[in-house]
């Protein structure tokens, strides 16, 4: 209840003084039991998987009330261009800035800088090409803000698979890829509207 960020099963096990090979399984079992108790007694919160850890969150439907109580806390809002850039990074990571610019048709440097400042995007490596340009990917903060346990929880886009390998900046993008990006942006916009970003740590 006092943690301000998701906690991993290992850390929770350490705090509880658990030892042995199955200690993380004990933590997961305890969380399931607590969530069952919360649901049975119609509590306004539950323990959710978030950004690779666990956090006590209020249900999204309670968000308007909490927004009223904590009106001084403003939500982070992204512009359409920033959201489009973030969508490409999320599905294409690790991705080069040149590839993002090519898919969007405009420069993305300023948007990447702002997304990095917001800790939603981070540099995850350098490409094995001349000049060793930076590769961009999403961060744990991205998972937390959008209420995702891992990148595998990203919404599925029909006919498109998230890139698993370092992209080749010299490969031109075809019409089919551009259509995929449009679907990616629509999917992450829907995720932004319905994700646990509306949930508040209890």
Where in the sequence of the chain do the CATH 1.10.10.10 domains occur? 9-72, 80-197
Which of 171, 104, 164, 157 is CA-nearest to residue 137?
Answer: 164
Condensed to tens digits (0 to 9), the pLDDT of residues 112-143 reads 999 999 999 999 999 888 889 999 999 998 99
Condensed to tens digits (0 to 9), the pLDDT of residues 65-78 reads 877 666 544 556 78
CATH class of 9-72: mainly alpha
Helix (H) or strand (E) holding 55: strand 53-58
Q: How many CB atoms lie within 10 A of CB 164?
A: 7
Q: Which residue has the tokens 């440097």?
A: 109
Highest mean pLDDT among 21-35, 43-57, 157-171, 187-201: 21-35
- What is the CATH T-level fold of the domain 80-197, as seen in this structure? Arc Repressor Mutant, subunit A (1.10.10)
Which of 107, 94, 180 is CA-nearest to residue 136?
Answer: 94
Contact 144, 50 (CB under 8 A): yes
Full-model pTM: 0.51
Q: How many Å apart are CA 119 and CA 168, to the nearest integer?
A: 25
């Amino acid at each position: 209840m006092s943690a301000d960020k998701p906690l991993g099963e290992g850390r929770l096990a350490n705090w509880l003084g658990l030892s042995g090979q199955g200690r993380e399984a004990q933590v997961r079992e305890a969380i399931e039991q607590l969530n069952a108790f919360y649901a049975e007694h119609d509590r306004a919160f539950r323990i959710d998987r978030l950004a690779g850890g666990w956090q006590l969150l209020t249900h999204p439907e309670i968000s308007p009330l909490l927004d009223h109580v904590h009106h001084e806390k403003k939500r982070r809002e992204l512009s359409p261009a920033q959201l489009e850039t973030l969508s490409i990074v999320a599905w294409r990571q690790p991705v080069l800035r040149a590839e993002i610019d090519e898919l969007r048709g405009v420069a993305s440097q300023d948007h990447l800088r702002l997304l990095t400042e917001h800790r939603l995007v981070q540099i995850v490596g350098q490409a094995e090409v001349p000049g060793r340009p930076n590769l961009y990917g999403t961060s744990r903060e991205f998972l937390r803000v959008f209420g995702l346990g891992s990148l595998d929880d990203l919404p599925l886009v029909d006919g498109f698979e998230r890139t698993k390998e370092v992209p080749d900046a010299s490969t031109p993008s075809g019409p089919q890829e551009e259509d995929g990006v449009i679907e990616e942006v629509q999917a992450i916009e829907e995720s932004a509207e319905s994700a646990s970003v509306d949930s508040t740590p209890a």
